[in-house]
Structures are given as structure tokens and as C-alpha cells.
Amino acid sequence: MVESVWFRAPRPAREAPLTRARIVSEAVALLDAEGAERLTMRRLAERLGSGVTTLYWHVRTKDDVLDLALDEVFGELDRCPAPPGWRAGLVRLLSDWRAVLLRHPWSALLLGRRPLLGPHALACTERLQALLVAAGLRGPELMASSYALSNYVTGCVVNQVGWRTQDEPAARRAADEHLRAHAEHYPTLAEHLDVLDADWDGSFARGLGYLLDGITARLGSSAAGADTLALE
């Protein structure tokens, strides 16, 4: 068998070496394009022009990739500017927070899976907490407000994304029909709930307003506060 340089194609120029950053950015692109269930180590490797095993040199498990991708998404929030004033700042931060997660629907599904400890996620929490401190909150009220606001955003995103996973209009029609069919069991829903054109953005803004109103109301009376907590 003849062996000569001329018969062998030159080894293809090595790609830019694989790095964590490249892996993550490609993973985000893949997740955005095809959704969470289509992200496979094999497919990711293929898109990166490398073997599957190579990924495992840079990353310990697939969950690592997901963690990194999720934090990458939170990174987009760093680039959103903040208006002056703590209430406007909060509204802006939380609206952007929600918008970013909705822009990458797969990210919402990762939320419950592990605590958010990536640098960008922490930076967001830091911004949130700093705004609340600026508003004058301290101690348990600070913690409760901070949790409440971020949990509110999480919940809104998670519930809204639940509708996106299938064909949304079809799902809505089906839900509407299903509800109307059993109207005797769900009289209030049948009367007041309009599944067909729910206004996600508007409801989010309104609800956020309620929450902020409630928090603000505690601001003045924080000394008297403790007993007004009684819930029932």
C-alpha cells in the first residue's frame, strides 16, 4: 500500500481549542434553537466539531453544562441598565429578570433543579437585595421581601412556560373547551377566567404592583410591625 504525504490530506487545522466558554455558549444556542429535551452531549459535541468524550474533559456532567448555561442567561441581566429610584429600579430589575427567562424558556425549567449559585445569578440577587436595603428594609422583612419578589418572578415564569411547551393557542383552546365542558364543577372559573386571551405581561405588572405596595406599606410602620403580621 503506497504511503506518501501527498496522498494524505493535511490534518485539518485544529479548531479554536475547546473551552468551557465555547461549550457553554454553544449549549445556550442549541437550547434556544431546539429546547431542553434536544440538548444531548452528542449533539453538542457535534456542533462543536469535537468528540463526545472531549466535553467530559472540560465538564464533569451534563448537569454542569446546564448550570453554566443557566448562569449565562442570568448574565444578560447584567447588561440591563437601572433607572434611579428604588421602586422603579425594582420594577425594572424584576421585569427584565422575567423577560430574560422567558426569552430562554428552557431556563425556567431548570429553576427548581438546583440552587442558583452562579456568579451572574448571585449578582442579580445582590442587585435585588441592594435595592431593598436602599428602600429601608432590614432583617426578616428584608429577607421576606427579597424572597417574595424573586419567588414571584420564578412562579410567573414557570407557570407561563408551562403553556409554551406545547402549541400554545391549541393548548389554550383545549383548556377553554375542557373548562366549559365541566362548568358545573368550576362555576367561578367558567364565569371569570378567560383562558383564550390571558394577558401575561399585564398580569405580571399588576401583581408586582400589589406586592410592592404591600412591601411599601410596611416601610413606615416597621417599628410597630411585628404584630401586624398576624395572618388569620
Per CB under 7 A, residues contacting DNA are 11, 14, 17-18, 38-43, 50-54, 56-58, 60-63
CB burial of residue 47 (10 Å; 0-12, 13-18, 19+): middle
Other CB atoms within 10 A of residue 91 CB: 17
Answer yes or no: are the C-beta atoms of 150 and 128 closer than 8 Å.
yes
Find which of a second copy, DNA, none residue 83 binds, CB within 5 to 8 Å per kind: a second copy
Asked whether position 103 contacts a second copy by CB under 8 A, the answer is no
Q: Sign of the C-alpha dihedral, residues 114, 119, 125, 129?
A: positive
Nearer to a second copy among residue 54 and residue 225 (C-beta): 225
In the complex, the smallest distance separating the C-beta of residue 31 from a second copy, rounded to whole angstroms, is 15
23-31, 41-49, 66-74, 195-203 -> range binding a second copy (CB under 8 A): 195-203
Find which of a second copy, DNA, none residue 11 binds, CB within 5 to 8 Å per kind: DNA
- Coil vs helix vs strand at 121: helix
Determine the angle formed by the axes of helices 20-34 and 62-78, rounding to 10 degrees. Answer: 80
In angstroms, the CA 146 to CA 86 distance is 13
Answer yes or no: are the C-beta atoms of 208 and 94 closer than 8 Å.
yes
17-25, 53-61, 72-80, 204-212 -> range binding a second copy (CB under 8 A): 204-212
Compose the 14-33 pattern: x for residues touching a second copy by CB under 8 A, - for all others. Answer: --------------------
Answer yes or no: are the C-beta atoms of 121 and 148 closer than 8 Å.
no
Nearer to DNA among residue 14 and residue 185 (C-beta): 14
Find which of a second copy, DNA, none residue 18 binds, CB within 5 to 8 Å per kind: DNA
Nearer to a second copy among residue 54 and residue 76 (C-beta): 76
Nearer to a second copy among residue 65 and residue 124 (C-beta): 124
In the complex, the smallest distance separating the C-beta of residue 61 from a second copy, rounded to whole angstroms, is 13
In angstroms, the CA 100 to CA 108 distance is 10
Find which of DNA, a second copy, none residue 61 binds, CB within 5 to 8 Å per kind: DNA
Q: Sign of the C-alpha dihedral, residues 122, 89, 98, 211?
A: positive
